[in-house]
Amino acid sequence: GSPDSVKDEL
């Protein structure tokens, strides 16, 4: 997981 993975949620 990268820090960018955070906003992959709905």
Partner 1 sequence: MNIFRLAGDMTHLMSVLVLLLKIHTIKSCAGISLKTQELYALVFATRYLDIFTDFISVYNTIMKLIFLGSSFSIVWYMRRHKLVRRSYDKEQDTFRHFFLVLPCLLLALVMNEKFTFKEVMWAFSLYLEAVAILPQLVLLQRTKNIDNLTGQYVFLLGAYRAFYIFNWIYRYFTEPHYVHWITWISGLVQTLLYADFFYYYFNSWKNNVKLHLPA
Give contact residues for partner 1 (rule: CB under 8 A). Answer: 1-3, 5-10
CB of 10 to partner 1, least distance (A): 5
**Torsion-angle region of residue 2: left (phi > 0), alpha (psi -120 to 50) or beta?**
beta
CB of 6 to partner 1, least distance (A): 5
CB of 1 to partner 1, least distance (A): 3
| DSSP-derived secondary structure for 1-10 | --GGGGGG--
